[in-house]
Amino acid sequence: MATTIEGAIAGAAGGNAGILAKERTVAGEGYSRWLAPPAALAIHLCIGMAYGFSVFWLPMSKLIASPDPACPKAAGWIDDLFTSTCNWSVTSETITFTLFIVFLGLAAALWGGWVERSGPRKAGVASAVCWCGGLVLGGLGVYVHQLWIVWLGTGVLGGIGLGLGYISPVSTLIKWFPDRRGMATGFAIMGFGGGAMIGAPLATLLMKHFAPGGANGVWQTYLAMAAIYLVFMLGGAFAYRVPPNGWRPAGWAPPEDHGKAMITRRHVHLNRAWKTPQFWAIWGVLCLNVSAGIGVLAMASPMFQEVFGGKLIGAAAGFNDLSPEQKSQIAIIAASLVGLLSLFNSLGRIFWASLSDRLGRKKTYYAFFVLGIASYCLLPTFGHLGAVALFIAAACLILSMYGGGFSTIPAYLADMFGTQMVGAIHGRLLTAWSVAGVIGPVLIAKLRDFEKTQGVPPNLLYDVTLYVLAALLLGGLICNALIRPVDAGNFMSDEELAAERKLSHEVLADPRAANAARGGMGVAVLLAWLAVGVPFAWGLWTALLKSAALFR
């Protein structure tokens, strides 16, 4: 038996496996587990730019300085798709974001099992190729002015890169930090929320750099960001290491499993997990939490402007009574709110996920839904009272829990279904995000339009919508209450688990586990955290500067 194990280890180390193979990423004795979170952040901070793509919409709608006079004034997306002589509408361009979210969920669901078995390095490289290749193809679409190429490249291919990159570190981080599951996944997924804080101002600076004399620098910015992101993402992918099978932090022992605990020590196969009631209850929890949060995120700027109108600049007039100059002033202030919400979306991911390690996942989601329902129901009252600061505080709390819902869900899945296939199960669960990415923005936009056609004044347009979003969270609260420990019959037998670990290229009884990854907080760890921390700090500082306009 020992000879067989040693042979397997020698084969893995002897170069028979390619440089991207999972066998080549098993950590050695000097590796520190604190190198894993910055590797994940390097990828998530790049793909998180998906949230910041709105900085491109207006410049992309003005690519043609002298459009054809015959261009229709109210062109639909079909007209925009193939035109090379008319400017695109912002509405048509924003479909790119919908494609991001849809293909993120589809890619994660379709290839989650492949990511689990191939390891984070190969998945990270695939993500980098798809995401950065999508930006290059999107830049080509902007250059030749063909929207369908932008959709295909940035939306579809980029969306696949998002899905692969999003789930690539989940299983690895949970295995490195069994004692702090929430904190570990919170670090990585915080990067996805914070990617826009870095990417959006970076894109704005690059467009100005590539647009001397008032020209448009969109396609050049796409290519420049593709090059920058490729370097960071490949750096993160090659920095990944996985713990040897059986590895544990020094001095830590898993909690006892009596069959009724909300944290199991056993493992459920993907093919069984998605058929359990627990999976679909958690699917409902994520979908409803995201639908409510993303609805606010999608309409934050116009909602803020229409609810408060002239109050934002010290004028008594309502939104419809403002001059064009005054509307421009409040639009700048509202843009600051969007930046502040993005900040809380990011920081909420690490705060709530870390807190869930103490509270437990179920109690954390109870907090999300109870606080969220109260916040949504209070927002209309704050608007009626003209209480700008309270409105902002409630919106920031909502977005912190929106982000926290994303970062806590992988740990919830690991608690319920074990760690062996948690990445694949998480990938399948992200279809809830795809559905929510359509439901939330469409619901809030349709309700707003309906209220507007009924003659409701701008400051009251969102009252019904916010109460409906609170009702969605009530549904999520019920789903969370229904979650119980997984039935014992769904867990893999020892033979099934051994077979799955063989497919995942894991040494079944790895003698390296006792001594692997005992490295401390050395120079390598410091440099790795600086590599992701400096860009994040710059994005954070930029967001805070912009948000200061809200409180002047």
List, for residues 390-404, the tens digit of each pLDDT value.
999 999 999 999 999
- Greater model confidence, 24 or 255: 24
Cβ atoms of 337 and 392 within 8 Å: the answer is yes
**Pairwise CA distance, residues 514 & 69, whole Å:** 73
Residue count (the chain)? 552
3-state helix, strand, coil in the chain (%, to 5): 75, 0, 25
In this predicted structure, what is the pLDDT of residue 518?
Answer: 67
Domains of the chain: 18-64+86-249+515-547 (1.20.1250.20), 282-482 (1.20.1250.20)
Mean pLDDT of all residues in 328-355: 83
With contact defined as beta carbons under 8 Å apart, do 385 and 310 qualify? no
Tokens representing 214 are 């008032």
Burial of 259 (0-12, 13-18, 19+ CB in 10 A): exposed
* Residue 257 pLDDT exceeds 60: no
Instruction: Look at residue 201 and tell me whether its pLDDT is greater than 80.
Output: yes
Residue 513: predicted pLDDT = 65
| 3-state DSSP of 231-276 | HHHHHHHHHCCECCCCCCCCCCCCCCCCCCCCCCCCCECHHHHCCC
- Is the predicted pLDDT of residue 547 greater than 80, yes or no? no
- pLDDT grade for 426, boundaries at 50, 70 and 90: very high
Other Cβ atoms less than 10 A from the Cβ of 237: the count is 27
At residue 495, the 3 state secondary structure works out as: helix
Which of 27, 28, 34 minimizes the C-alpha distance to 522? 34
Q: How far apart are CA 55 and CA 362, in angstroms?
A: 37
Q: Has residue 2 got a pLDDT over 50?
A: no
7 pLDDT above the threshold of 60: no
Mean pLDDT confidence for 227-250? 91
Q: Are 176 and 516 in contact (CB under 8 A)?
A: no
- Residue 377 has a pLDDT of 95
Tokens 């600076």 belong to which residue? 205
* Residues contacting 215, CB < 8 A, separation 6+: none
Tokens describing residue 130: 């798809």
Half-sphere exposure of 481 (CA within 13 A, CB side): 8
Which of the two residues, 11 and 169, has the higher pLDDT score?
Answer: 169
Whether 259 has a pLDDT exceeding 60, the answer reads no
Highest mean pLDDT: which range of 15-29, 287-301, 367-381:
367-381
Does 298 score more than 80 pLDDT? Answer: no
- What is the predicted pLDDT for the residue at 261? 63
Instruction: Please give the average per-residue pLDDT across 430-450, as a whole number.
Output: 83
User: What pLDDT is attached to residue 14?
Assistant: 39
* pLDDT higher than threshold 60 for residue 359: yes
Averaged pLDDT, 31-60:
90
> Which residue, chain included where needed, has tokens 């002298």?
66
Name which of 177-191, 300-314, 400-414, 419-433 the model is least confident about.
Answer: 300-314
Please give the mean pLDDT across all residues of the chain.
86
C-beta of residue 276 within 8 angstroms of C-beta of residue 164: no
Question: Rounded distance, CA 441 to CA 151, Å?
Answer: 19
Q: Which residues pair with 268 in a beta bridge?
A: 491
Q: Is the pLDDT of residue 230 over 70?
A: yes
pLDDT at 215: 62
Q: Which distant-in-sequence residues (6+ apart) come within 8 Å of 430 by Cβ?
A: 104, 105, 108, 109, 163, 166, 167
User: Predicted confidence band at 508 (pLDDT cuts at 50, 70, 90)?
Assistant: low
| Contact call for residues 39 and 236 (beta carbons, < 8 A) | yes
| Full-model pTM | 0.85
Q: How many Cβ atoms from other residues are within 10 Å of residue 110's Cβ?
A: 16
- Whole-number pLDDT of residue 530: 95
Reported as a pLDDT band with limits 50, 70 and 90, residue 477 is very high
Whether residue 13 has pLDDT greater than 50 = no
Q: What percent of the chain has pLDDT over 90?
A: 41
Cβ-count burial 301-328 (b if 16+ within 10 Å, e if not) = bbbbbbbbbbbbbeeeeebeebeeebee
Give the model's confidence band at 236: pLDDT under 50 very low, under 70 low, under 90 confident, else very high: very high
Neighbour-count burial for 468-501, b at 16+ CB within 10 Å, e otherwise: ebbebbbbbbebbeebebbeeebbbeeeebeebb
* pLDDT confidence tier of residue 245, bands split at 50, 70 and 90: confident
Which range of 77-86, 130-139, 179-188, 295-304 scores highest in mean pLDDT? It is 130-139
What is the C-alpha to C-alpha distance for residues 219 and 403, in angstroms, rounded to an integer?
30
Nearest to 376 by CA among 457, 291, 483: 291
